[in-house]
Amino acid sequence: MDYDTFTGQTVSEAVALANLFALGEPDPSEVRDVLRLYGLRDGPVDLAAFGDLAGRIRAVFEAGSDRERVELLNALLSSYEPTPFIADHDGQGPHFHFVPDDGADVRRVGASLTMALAHVVVDYGGGRLGRCPAPRCPNVFVDTTRNRSQRYCSKTCATRVHVAEHRARH
Ligand SMILES: [Zn+2]
Ligand SMILES: [Zn+2]
């Protein structure tokens, strides 16, 4: 799967943010760490607002149909109102920013993550976004395999399930 660099990285951050909030409210430093590309401002991290964003991103992955997924994404686009322009700073080369630099952190992040997920759905199909079916694993993931064969969030989960199935048969 050929993501362009920024979309790919941004999609990974959407996954990381959704998974970070899956186990309860994280530490603000963990949110900063997951979103380090965005350089959140000094001061308190609005955990409620980021938690809301994380939950809505998760819903996009867990949607039962493409139609529902598109409705959720369109609602996110309405909420976070991306207004794209091209930025070039810190030697990164020209790339999109989706909210003026003085916009609230959660809006900058929300607009950018939402645009990246919308690109995946439009360019590659909603089937690329999934929820791990392994027991007790809340993680969502993006299937980046060439033949759309990824079922679990990680090798760890795939192995865990296969070992359990093997044991159950003997
Ligand atoms: Zn930038
Ligand atoms: Zn998993």
Mean pLDDT, contiguous 10-residue spans, the chain (170 residues): 64 96 95 93 95 98 96 98 93 91 94 95 93 96 88 94 86
pTM: 0.91
103 occurs within a structural domain: yes
For residue 110, the enclosing domain spans 5-131
Structure tokens that stand for 167 in this block: 């044991």
What's the CA-to-centroid distance between 49 and ligand 1, angstroms? 22
Q: Which residues contact 86 (CB under 8 A, 6 or more apart)?
A: 94, 95, 96, 97
Task: Tell me, yes or no, whether 143 lies in a domain.
Answer: no
Residues that place a CB less than 5 A from ion ligand 2? 132, 134, 137, 139, 153, 157
Span from the CA of 82 to the centroid of ligand 2 (angstroms): 31
Residue 159 lies in a domain: no
Ligand 1 midpoint to CA 96 (Å): 7
- Give the 3-state secondary structure percentages of the chain, helix then strand then coil, rounded to 5: 55, 5, 35
Angstrom distance (rounded) from CA 64 to CA 112: 24
**Ligand 1 mean position to 86 CA, how many Å?**
9
Q: Is residue 38 part of a domain?
A: yes
DSSP notation for 96-141: EE-S-TTS-HHHHHHHHHHHHHHHHHHHH-GGGEEE--STT---EE
> How many domains, the chain?
1
Quote the ligand 2 centre to 160 CA distance (angstroms): 9
Q: What is the pLDDT of residue 120?
A: 93
Q: How far is the CA of 131 from the centre of ligand 2 (A)?
A: 8
Per-residue confidence (pLDDT) for residue 6, from 0 to 100: 53
The CATH number that applies at residue 18 is 1.10.3300.10
Ligand 2 centre distance from Cα of residue 45 (Å): 27
- Compute the C-alpha angle 119/128/158, nearest 5°: 145
Residue 155 lies in a domain: no
